[in-house]
């Protein structure tokens, strides 16, 4: 049976950065509409079962009922039997259950933080990412119908995956030689002493930024490096910079509608599996993909490393091109 999973995060795009920038708001009603289109695109091309994360907005139940009433539902929709914590735990558990059910592809609706949560658990299943978060570098704006079509092609397992799947990089953070967390796009060392509301936006509090990718056409902390150097997902390296120094000033899009002048040193390249040791000068926090997650104390030792242990990320256009060349769309 061909199956896919859908993880639609009802909390994505609702953090405090909405109050300090001009980011687009994608509410849960629109996320539900996107999910409908994913399902319709996927079932039309052979997907027989779709697993959905249970959530407090009940998106899976709403979509199933609506498509049943309209007579459009042809596949089986399974809303996962799981306890809801209305937190990252839901995404972690849903990802684990979907992999245990051997889905052929997982489609995520969220921002960088949502996909980071998926990546913390995911071992092998390829993912398609749709942007519905605040600062989005990892996921992309994508029509749900197209995402469902691509998910069907990937889940069919008819084609050589190397044609359209890339094993992404991630930043690994170690404390006392133990892996404590990861980031997919950027890790930021800040002198903010507490996690608080998690989202980080004050550039004056930042000491260092580590990235797996950077580009001037992105938004957020990775764009600070991106205004100096482009690093693409296929590059076998990342970089870090020192921030608030006496170095070069760049004007960077640190949030939607917000460009700030930031003083930085030149980017330093970090190769795959190359380690950077950091000894904490004072108390502070480490933000991962835009959210403060790790608190630290003076004199603690951390190691930052970029590896190729991130998710198997689907290039949707290449997946559909591969399917087309192999006559996947012939009725």
pLDDT reported for residue 16 = 47
pTM above 0.85, yes or no: yes
Low-confidence residues in the chain, pLDDT < 50: 16, 18-19
Report the pLDDT value the prediction gives residue 136, as an integer from 0 to 100. Answer: 81
The pLDDT of residue 19 is 47
Pair (136, 79) in one structural domain? yes
Residue 209 shares a structural domain with residue 267: yes
Angstrom CA distances, 71 to 3, 47, 64, stand at 20, 17, 11
User: According to the model, what pLDDT value does residue 329 have?
Assistant: 96
Angle at the Cα of 306 from the Cα atoms of 302 and 309, rounded to 5 degrees: 115
Helix, strand or coil for residue 38? helix
Residue 200, classified by CB atoms within 10 Å of its CB into exposed (0-12), middle (13-18) or buried (19+), is: buried
| Residue 303 CB coordination number (10 Å) | 16
Residues in the chain: 331
Count up the domains in the chain and report the number. 2
Tokens at 159, concatenated? 């084609």
Question: The domain spanning residue 85 has which CATH number?
Answer: 3.40.50.10330
Q: Where are the alpha helices (DSSP H) in 178-242?
A: 222-226
Residue 22 confidence (pLDDT): 55
Q: Are 132 and 110 in contact (CB under 8 A)?
A: yes
Same domain, yes or no, for 236 and 256?
yes
Do 161 and 238 sit in the same domain of this protein? no
Same-domain check for residues 253 and 145: no
Domain hosting residue 273, numbered range: 170-307
- Model pLDDT, residue 193: 72
Query: 288: burial class by Cβ within 10 Å (0-12, 13-18, 19+)?
Result: buried
Query: What pLDDT does 12 receive?
Result: 72
311's enclosing H/E stretch is: none
Q: 232 Cβ partners below 8 Å, 6+ apart?
A: 213, 215
Which residue, among 108, 137, 104, 130, has the nearest Cα to 120 in the 3D structure? Answer: 108
| Rounded Cα gap, residues 101 and 6, in angstroms | 13
pLDDT for 108 equals 98
Instruction: Please indicate, yes or no, if residue 246 is contained in any of the structural domains.
Output: yes
């Amino acid at each position: 049976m061909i199956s896919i999973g859908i993880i639609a995060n009802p909390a994505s795009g609702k953090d405090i950065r909405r109050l300090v920038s001009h980011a687009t708001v994608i509410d849960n009603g629109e996320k539900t509409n996107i999910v409908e289109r994913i399902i319709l695109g996927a079932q039309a091309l052979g997907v027989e079962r779709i697993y959905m994360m249970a959530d407090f907005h009940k998106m899976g139940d709403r979509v199933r009922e609506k498509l049943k009433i309209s007579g459009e539902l042809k596949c089986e929709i399974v809303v996962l039997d799981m306890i809801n914590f209305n937190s990252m735990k839901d995404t972690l558990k849903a990802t684990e259950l979907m992999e245990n059910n051997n889905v052929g592809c997982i489609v995520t609706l969220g921002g960088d933080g949502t996909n980071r949560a998926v990546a913390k658990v995911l071992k092998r299943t390829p993912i398609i990412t749709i942007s519905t978060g605040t600062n989005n570098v990892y996921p992309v704006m994508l029509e749900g119908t197209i995402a469902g079509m691509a998910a069907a092609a990937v889940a069919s397992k008819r084609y050589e995956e190397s044609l359209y799947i890339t094993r992404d990089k991630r930043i690994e953070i170690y404390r006392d030689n133990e892996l404590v967390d990861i980031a997919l796009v950027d890790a930021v060392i800040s002198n903010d002493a507490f996690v608080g509301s998690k989202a980080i936006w004050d550039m004056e509090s930042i000491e260092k930024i580590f990235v797996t990718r950077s580009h001037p056409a992105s938004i957020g902390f990775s764009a600070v490096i991106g205004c100096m150097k482009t690093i693409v997902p296929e590059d076998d390296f990342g970089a870090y910079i020192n921030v608030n120094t006496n170095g070069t000033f760049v004007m960077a899009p640190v949030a939607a509608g917000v460009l700030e002048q930031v003083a930085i040193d030149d980017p330093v390249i970090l190769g795959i599996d190359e380690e950077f040791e950091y000894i904490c000068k004072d108390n502070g926090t480490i933000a991962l993909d835009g959210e403060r997650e790790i608190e630290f104390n003076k004199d603690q030792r951390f190691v930052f490393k970029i590896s190729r242990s991130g998710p198997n990320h689907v290039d949707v256009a290449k997946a559909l091109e591969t399917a087309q060349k192999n006559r996947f769309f012939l009725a």
